[in-house]
Amino acid sequence: MSFRFSVRTGWDVGESSFAAAIREARLTGRRLYDLTVSNPTVCGFSYNAATILAPLGDSEALVYDPDARGMRRAREAVADYYRGHGAVVDPDALVLTTSTSEGYGYLFRLLCDAGDEVLVALPSYPLFDFLADLEDVKLKPYPLFYDYGWWIDFAELQRRIGPRTRAIVVVHPNNPTGHGTKAVERQRLEEICAQYGLALIVDEVFLDYSLHRADTEELVSFAVGPHPVLTFVLSGMSKIAGLPQMKAAWIAGSGPEALRREAMGRLEVIADTFLSMNAPVQRALPSWLEARQGIQQQILERVRANLACVEGMGLEVLRVEAGWCAILRLPRTGDVAGELLQECGAIVHPGAFYGIAQAGRVVVSLIGPVEDFTAGMKLISTATRGIK
């Protein structure tokens, strides 16, 4: 009998042609300008090593005394973080996870049976496909449209709701569009969730990275009530404190009391099955949260500088309100990312990577070192200048 793997892992695991082209370009020794770097730990930010590492040595972490939801002290620190955002979060309605990805996994298991559906925005975060596959959940994309800012196409969203739909995912502010969900949109989402019996899953990892544009609504956390429907807010250290390597995140549950209690009880059992959080990280989490401003200010300054650089070159950037990246609209069609790599050694994400169908869109990270970013952007500007 021949061997058979699970259907859910039947991905094409080969190297994409774009990844192969980058690998080959690197082998030639040619100077490349990687405009996709989104790992803050390699972008030249100044981290306070003592503040970050010292709490990991807390000897109390030698005792194994697990709490399925995560250590109380860490959950209280997270509740404190939300207090700063004007939200009252009950530490007992929090579950700590190693990442928001793990949080999605827990929530998909909580809400969905195999074959059930979850609505996600398009364009959005590409990892959703894999997170859904792993939990046997089907993703149904709902389109966002761009009209001097990004908006949810509610007619299409509603059209995609079926008998197996269980939840709507919102990334607030969204990656890669860098826009927040407006108050009227939140209200409409909640009405729809109430009407169809759906949960709302809100990923707020970039919440603290608003550019505070004068012509934009301020970002308000979905943790701020009231919560007419079952709502789960996800966030964590990877963006809030620029510490993706520490693996600490959470799910904050809210909603009608009985429903929320039932949800948190079930989530606790899921978390208890894995007990994936380690003790030193949970002990350190309060001090990382407390020190977050130091890294957030550096990242925001970098984002502003890089955004000003690309806008100053006359390249068309779709309006960014928040977050770490930007979508460029280049006067080209075809394989723009592949061409830019060949022509000028600039590495950008093809728009298709995020589900952007329109031609000429590429996505760049705004947190890379300013010099490299500027040099890469100049090359892109020169390569595309005059082609309209």
Ligand X SMILES: Cc1ncc(COP(=O)(O)O)c(C=O)c1O
Q: Is the Cβ of residue 236 or residue 345 nearer to ligand X in the bound state?
A: 236
Looking at residue 105, its amino acid is G
Q: What angle do CA 312, 316, 320 make, to 5 degrees?
A: 85
Q: To 10 degrees, the CA torsion angle through 151, 156, 158, 160?
A: -130
* Contact flag: residue 171 with ligand X (CB under 6 A): yes
* Of residues 101-160, those binding ligand X (CB under 6 A): 101, 125
* Contact flag: residue 81 with ligand X (CB under 6 A): no
Stretch that binds ligand X, among 93-101, 114-122, 160-168, 219-227 (CB under 6 A): 93-101
Q: Which two tokens stand for residue 137?
A: 């959940």
Closest approach of ligand X to the CB of residue 116, in Å: 21
Closest approach of ligand X to the CB of residue 125, in Å: 4
Q: Is the Cβ of residue 242 or residue 286 nearer to ligand X in the bound state?
A: 242
Stretch that binds ligand X, among 94-102, 107-115, 162-170, 273-281 (CB under 6 A): 94-102
**Among 64, 65, 69, 70, residue whose Cα is nearest residue 286:** 70
* Contact flag: residue 181 with ligand X (CB under 6 A): no
Closest approach of ligand X to the CB of residue 154, in Å: 21
User: What CA–CA distances, in Å, run from 32 to 181, 343, 365?
Assistant: 36, 11, 15
Q: Which of 116, 117, 135, 203 binds ligand X (CB under 6 A)?
A: 203
Cα of 244 vs its chain's centroid, Å: 12
Give the separation between CA 96 and CA 116, rounded to whole angstroms.
25
Closest approach of ligand X to the CB of residue 313, in Å: 26
Closest approach of ligand X to the CB of residue 95, in Å: 14
Closest approach of ligand X to the CB of residue 247, in Å: 8
Stretch that binds ligand X, among 16-24, 99-107, 112-120, 188-196 (CB under 6 A): 99-107
Stretch that binds ligand X, among 7-15, 98-106, 137-145, 348-356 (CB under 6 A): 98-106
Give the separation between CA 291 and CA 273, rounded to whole angstroms.
32
H-state helical runs in the chain: 17-27, 49-53, 72-83, 100-111, 128-134, 154-159, 183-196, 237-240, 257-274, 279-290, 292-312, 336-344, 370-384
Q: Beta strand pairing status for 165-171 and 117-122?
A: parallel
Closest approach of ligand X to the CB of residue 237, in Å: 7
Q: Which two tokens stand for residue 117?
A: 């559906």
Q: Which of 36, 175, 254, 282 binds ligand X (CB under 6 A)?
A: 175
Q: Is the Cβ of residue 249 or residue 326 nearer to ligand X in the bound state?
A: 249
User: What CA–CA distances, in Å, run from 379 to 24, 342, 346?
Assistant: 20, 12, 7
* Of residues 243-272, those binding ligand X (CB under 6 A): 244, 249
Beta bridge partners of 168: 119, 200
Residues that bind ligand X in the complex, under the rule CB under 6 A = 99-101, 125, 171, 175, 203, 205, 236, 238, 244, 249
